[in-house]
Structures are given as C-alpha cells and as structure tokens.
Amino acid sequence: MFQKILIANRGEIAVRIIRTCMYMGIETVAIYSEADKDSLHVQLADESVCVGGSRSDESYLNMENIITAAINKGAEAIHPGFGFLSENADFAKLCETCGIAFIGPNSEVIRQMGNKSEARKLMMSSNIPVIPGSDGVVGNLEQAKKIANKIGFPILIKASAGGGGKGMRVAQDLASFAKAFETAKTEALNAFGDGSLYLEKYLANPKHIEFQVLCDKYGNVLHLGERDCSIQRRNQKVIEEAPSLINKELLLKMSEATIKACKAVKYENAGTIEYLVSGDDFYFIEMNTRIQVEHPITEMITGKDLVKEQIKIASGEKLSFVQESLSFTGHSIECRINAENPKKDFMPSPGKVSLFHMPSGNGIRFDSALFTDYSVVPYYDSMIGKMIVHGETRDEAIKKMRAALEELVIEGIDTNQTFLYMIMIDPDYTKGNFNTSFINQKINSLLGYKDYE
C-alpha cells in the first residue's frame, strides 16, 4: 500500500480524497494555486506545495510543476480527482515514466477512450449499441454535410476530445448545420486544444444513464449499479440519483454491455460507462476514465468507498468482493451546489462566504471545501459543494433533500440552492417523469418562485 499520495486537484474532491487517505493511514500532499493558498484541502493535507499562479494553466494543469512536487515530496502515487488532468493521457504517461503510480487507468486506455470517436469505433467492434453517426472524425464541413444528410436531422455535433458539454451543438436542419459545426469546432479547439469533431443522430428527450465500474489488474470486472443523470442544463449534470427508474430487463442488458465494454479495453481502476436511453433502446455515448462528480450516490447505496477502492487497485490489490456479493440498499440523490445566479442566466458568483452552515443527520452528507470567510475565486468551475442524501425509498430521499436544502446556509454569494429546491418539489420530478430536456422545458416555472431573489 502507498505511504504517501499527492492529490492533483482542488476543492471538494481534493478534500474528499484526503479524508479517505486519512482513514487509510496514508500521508497526503496537497497542491495549490496562488488563489487557493488558504483553501481547506491545503489545511487538511499533511504537506502542501504551491504549483503556480491562479489560472489553471499556471497551476492545476502544469504537469511539470505537479510531477516535480510529487518527486520532491516523495509521493509514490498521484490521485487526479476529476477535471483538470484526470483524463489527460500525457500526464498519466508522464507519471508512468517517472515511476509514480497514476490512480486511474493506464495512459493508453485514457488516450483510447478519451477520443470519443475512437471509443465509439471500439464499442461498435464489440457489438455494443451506439447512436447512428459518423465512422470516426469528420474531416471538413463539406464531408460533414454529406454524412449529416445520410444520418438524417437533427444532428448532434460533438468534440472528439470533449467533456462537460463543451464543443457540442445541435443542428436541426442543413441550413443551420454550417454555423453549428464551426461553433463546435472553435469551442472544442479552445477548450481541449483539439478541434476534431464527429456526428451523431440527435435523440430527442432521452434518459442519461451511467454505470459505475471497478476493475483490478487481474481481469476482475464488476459494476456497482447505475445512476440517472438526466437532470441537466446545457449538457451539464445538475442532479443525479441512484438507482434509476429504468425497467429491470433493460438494466440487465445495459449491465452486460458495461462489463463487455470494460473487458474490451482491458480497463483498470474506477470508471463510468455512459448511455442514452430512448424507449426500450440504449446507446453507448462515452466512457469516463476517472472518478465522477456523482460517485457519492453509488457509495450511499452500496456502502463502498470508491476512492478507497481506487487506491487499493492502483497499489496492486485484487478486488475484495465480487458482483454477486454486492447489495444495493435504498435510494440516493445528489444536488450540485454552484456559486451562480440562476436568475441572471446562471452567471457565476465569486466572493466571500460570510456565513456557512452545513446540514447533517441520518443519511445526509455534504461534500464541500467551504467554510465561513472562505473566498470563492473566479478562476475555476462554479461548483462549491454536493448535497447527498440517502433514504429507504425515493420518496424519502426527495423529502430528505428538501429538508437539507432548506437547512443549508451559504451567505455572501449567490447559489443555485433554491433552484434545486424547486426541482425537488416539481410534480413531474417527484413522479419520475423527467428526461434530459426537463430543465429546458420547465425553466420558467423553476425560476418563478415568488421568494426567489
């Protein structure tokens, strides 16, 4: 087992990883930018190193400085969390070259699955359903138009190196295709340094379902159930829950496809296979080769610490349990708390938190790096916490989430707290009548609460 791990991340995920390392008796090294010198993850870690300026490219994306910090501090492994360098094949390769364990899959798998068009090809060769689309990257606009006409509109244009909804546009017809294509290309180039695109048939109003997997170095592969991530805004997840309300027969087929996909790529460590579900059909969309933001809801229904399992796998241990021994208990929901103002088109809201109160109680968990007088800086993602609840039933979990959101106090900045509460009391959400278009279709009513300022 590792004696010391460097966490190449910040905020709530860095805090969450550090806490598991504490439980496991593993020393931790935090990295931080100049803007994060007073952050909670820096205070909790055994050691800390400033790796650069406030901007991400100066610090949390600075591979050379991060590797140097790990070597100088004697860290045997690096946990990348999510975002930043977590799915960067070059960084994983650099870790391998320097003899530092990367807590995740190897660099070749990250490279293979990180290119969405290549991942799509691999799934097709393994007879896993994919959405009708282009056979890999499209070379130019004229070629893309021909393929789009063949597939049929509407068309989803996606960045090959994409993630987080960036480099993604929908073209309803040929007339709007050129502008959507060029916009997606420019956004992908700016976000990922790679402007390559591929095309898919756009599915109207699907469900977004993903399966959590764990795979060790000895060929043992299992899944820890599914999560419903359909409550989204602009292709970014807002609320997730586990288990989903999908019928058992379809879930069995999806779980079998998930295991097959992991074996096809010889996957190791924690990962997620994501699908779109339309009617009784499901389609592979991508594999995330890292821990997910929404992993806590899987932990709540399985009782497994996924970060602990990641560390054990990376250190060379076999999985200590098998598929048949897993049990799934109750229902769990996660709401992403963002520093943003929904009334102003979800504009980010950096600033000082003048008062912070975190709810607690049976089945209530709040993952965050917040504290009173903490300054939310404008340089990074606006997510500042995750409210997670667990109940015996979905109805109980919803009621628990309402109570937790009511009790949560974050003053000094704007948040989406009330917006999330409005979803929790929406009749369609409580009945399970929702898909990826839920927020878009209900945005006016979700923002219409009379006391919502």
Catalytically annotated residues: 290
Burial 86-95 (b: 16+ CB within 10 A, else e): bbbbebbbbb
- What is the distance between the terminal CA atoms of the chain, rounded to a whole angstrom? 50
Among 130, 81, 25, 152, residue whose Cα is nearest residue 381: 81
Q: How many Å is the maximal CA-CA distance in the chain?
A: 60
Residues contacting 362, CB < 8 A, separation 6+: none
Q: Rounded to an integer, what distance in angstroms lies between the CA atom of residue 192 and that of residue 88? A: 10
Burial 335-358 (b: 16+ CB within 10 A, else e): bbbbbbbbeeebebbbeebeebeb
Among 336, 350, 360, 356, residue whose Cα is nearest residue 416: 336
What does the block give as tokens for 43? 């205070």
Residues 199 and 155: beta-carbon distance below 8 Å: yes
Residues 21 and 78: beta-carbon distance below 8 Å: no
Q: Rounded to an integer, what distance in angstroms lies between the CA atom of residue 198 and that of residue 227? A: 26
Among 344, 363, 345, 341, residue whose Cα is nearest residue 413: 341
